[in-house]
A and B are shown apart, each in its own frame.
Chain A
Amino acid sequence: MLAARMTGGDSPLDLAMARFAAGEDAALAEVYDLGAPAVYTFLLRLGRDRSLAEDLTQETFLRIHRARGLYRPGAPVLPWAYTIARRLFLDSVRSRRSELQQNFDHDSEAEPFGLHDGGAESPSAEDLLADAELAQAVDEALAQIPEAQASAFRLLKGEGLSIAEVAAIMGTSKGSVKLRAHRAYLSLRALLGKRVFGRSAGGDPPVRGSASGERQGQ
């Protein structure tokens, strides 16, 4: 779903942004409604702090609001929003490093993703629970590896973005994105062991987000 929204520049989000950039003020709420869940989820997975994720989501969309007249119609909005969100997150980490460390510790008691806000579309409670447990395990493991590797992995596997899009968001080359994601995968494999990778050794990691691998060849 998310991957489909990322590409063309003709997704509902991109069209709403084009209308907003053209002067239709009311389209801002639509831009937020369509883009905020993805950005919020991305920030939540990065920082594991709901309050921080909400604040940074708001600031991300305020920046988009301020840059309205700079928007190029047809440009995909989500990579832009992810770039702003990631930069804001890194800035906040730098300024609140010690506070964030406390949040990491505290958040280990937090509820797993998807259970709290009812945002998931799940076929059954068992599937959801298994998926959420897996998500939490991967998330905890990702919190232990370098941010650049974790972000590359999350954007590729979790959000289903293409390598080119992740490279644009992270400000690096496509080769570097592949390398970071691969290193993250190796780290996850070492950290999670048979719990996650045991049944598919050598294959793609069965991380949540079946969009994994979509359009990676682009």
Chain B
Amino acid sequence: MSITNRPSAGARDRFLQAAARQPTSRPRTWHRRVSLACFGATAWLVTALSVLGIRPDWGDLPAPAVMATVVVLLAAALLASAIGLARGRSMVGTTTESLSLAAWGVPLLLLLLVVMMDPHGTSTAVAPDALLLHAWPCGLLTLLIALPLLGIALLVLRGLTLSRPGLAGACLGLAAATWAHLLIRVHCPLGGAGHAILGHLLPLLPLMILGAWAMRRR
């Protein structure tokens, strides 16, 4: 036998009056938000790529390595986006296991990718002593491209109470960073795992922290 108490009748009336005064989201808001977010993110990525341009040695790169890089980055970005943006079975976000797996697994996968797969064309590898010098513009670009994407993702989840907001935010930061990483890979002609790690991959850390912080603060 479960003992259940009830709020008072006055509390019910107060709730209904407060609800009548407060704005509520319209039916199918979620679908509109997701559609708008997809459209906005795609528009932003296309605009950024058209401004930055494709690397000049794109045609000289070995096709299998390019294909593998693009496919893995695309899959990682889609996975992190889907897990971070999921409402979950019970409207409180996806499971902790999935979020943790994405937050740890995707960065490791990307690290493996940049270490093992480094498509070289006629591009020059960066000398070790100039690594930082060449990495920071790429890092800054990655951040600049990813920040609006993170903002869009946070807007999609506005109004939802998640059981793990920090982890979900970290996943969203990771997703934004991975989309930006994909774009920078297409744009940046510099080769070498060191440059890829520092300039393309490392920005995902501040973005994950920022995403987690922003979601916890909502």
Residues from chain A with a CB closer than 8 A to the CB of B16 are 28-29, 32
Q: Is A53 within 8 A of B159, CB to CB?
A: no
Residues from chain A with a CB closer than 8 A to the CB of B164 are 171
Given A80-B91, A171-B96, are A119 and B15 also a contact pair (CB < 8 Å)?
A: no
Say whether chain B's binding surface is mostly helix, strand, loop, or mixed: loop
Given A65-B24, A171-B164, are A116 and B5 also a contact pair (CB < 8 Å)?
A: yes
Kindly supply a per-residue 1/0 record for chain A positions 129-168, scoring 1 wherever the CB is within 8 Å of any chain B CB and 0 otherwise: 0011001000000000000000000000011100001011
Residues from chain A with a CB closer than 8 A to the CB of B6 are 36-37, 40, 117, 119
Number of interface residues of B (CB under 8 A): 42
* B25 at the binding interface (Cβ < 8 Å): yes
Q: Is A159 within 8 A of B2, CB to CB?
A: yes
Residues from chain A with a CB closer than 8 A to the CB of B24 are 65-66, 68-69
Residues from chain A with a CB closer than 8 A to the CB of B12 are 29, 32-33, 36
The contact size tier of chain A is 35 or more
Residues from chain B with a CB closer than 8 A to the CB of A40 are 5-7
- CB A79 to nearest CB in B, in angstroms, measures 4
Kindly supply a per-residue 1/0 record for chain B positions 4-39, scoring 1 wherever the CB is within 8 Å of any chain A CB and 0 otherwise: 111110011011101100111111111001000000
- CB B2 to nearest CB in A, in angstroms, measures 4
Kindly supply a per-residue 1/0 record for chain A positions 63-80, scoring 1 wherever the CB is within 8 Å of any chain B CB and 0 otherwise: 101111111100111011
CB < 8 Å neighbour of A72 from B19, B26, B30, B97: B30
Q: Is B4 within 8 A of A119, CB to CB?
A: yes
Given A32-B12, A58-B15, are A41 and B4 also a contact pair (CB < 8 Å)?
A: yes
Flag the segment in B82-90, B140-148, B180-188 that touches A.
B82-90
Given A33-B12, A54-B7, A54-B11, are A69 and B90 also a contact pair (CB < 8 Å)?
A: no
Residues from chain A with a CB closer than 8 A to the CB of B2 are 1-2, 158-160, 208-211
Q: Is A22 within 8 A of B27, CB to CB?
A: yes
Kindly supply a per-residue 1/0 record for chain A positions 22-35, scoring 1 wherever the CB is within 8 Å of any chain B CB and 0 otherwise: 11000011001100
Given A28-B16, A208-B3, are A69 and B29 also a contact pair (CB < 8 Å)?
A: yes
Kindly supply a per-residue 1/0 record for chain B positions 95-135, scoring 1 wherever the CB is within 8 Å of any chain A CB and 0 otherwise: 11100000000000000000000000000000000000000
Closest-by-CB residue of A relative to B88 is A168
CB < 8 Å neighbour of B163 from A66, A67, A171, A208: A171
* B160 at the binding interface (Cβ < 8 Å): yes
Closest-by-CB residue of B relative to A6 is B90
- CB A128 to nearest CB in B, in angstroms, measures 8
Q: How far is the CA of A172 from the CA of B14 in the complex (A)?
A: 34
* A101 at the binding interface (Cβ < 8 Å): no
Q: Is B96 within 8 A of A173, CB to CB?
A: yes
* A179 at the binding interface (Cβ < 8 Å): no
Residues from chain B with a CB closer than 8 A to the CB of A72 are 30, 87, 91
Given A119-B3, A122-B1, A167-B95, are A58 and B11 also a contact pair (CB < 8 Å)?
A: yes
Interface centre among A33, A119, A127 (most CB of B within 10 A): A119
Q: How far is the CA of A40 from the CA of B8 in the complex (A)?
A: 10
Residues from chain A with a CB closer than 8 A to the CB of B18 are 58, 62
Question: Which positions in A face B, CB cutoff 8 Å?
Answer: 1-2, 21-23, 28-29, 32-33, 36-38, 40-41, 44, 53-54, 57-58, 61-63, 65-72, 75-77, 79-80, 83-84, 87, 113-114, 116-117, 119-122, 127, 131-132, 135, 158-160, 165, 167-173, 208-211
Q: List 5 A-B contacts (CB under 8 A).
A: A70-B29, A71-B30, A72-B91, A80-B92, A160-B2
- Beyond the given pairs A70-B159, A168-B88, A209-B2, 12 more chain A to chain B contacts, judged by CB atoms under 8 angstroms and listed by A's residue number, are A1-B2, A28-B19, A33-B12, A38-B4, A40-B6, A53-B7, A54-B8, A62-B22, A69-B24, A72-B87, A83-B161, A165-B90
Question: Which positions in B face A, CB cutoff 8 Å?
Answer: 1-8, 11-12, 14-16, 18-19, 22-30, 33, 87-93, 95-97, 159-164, 167
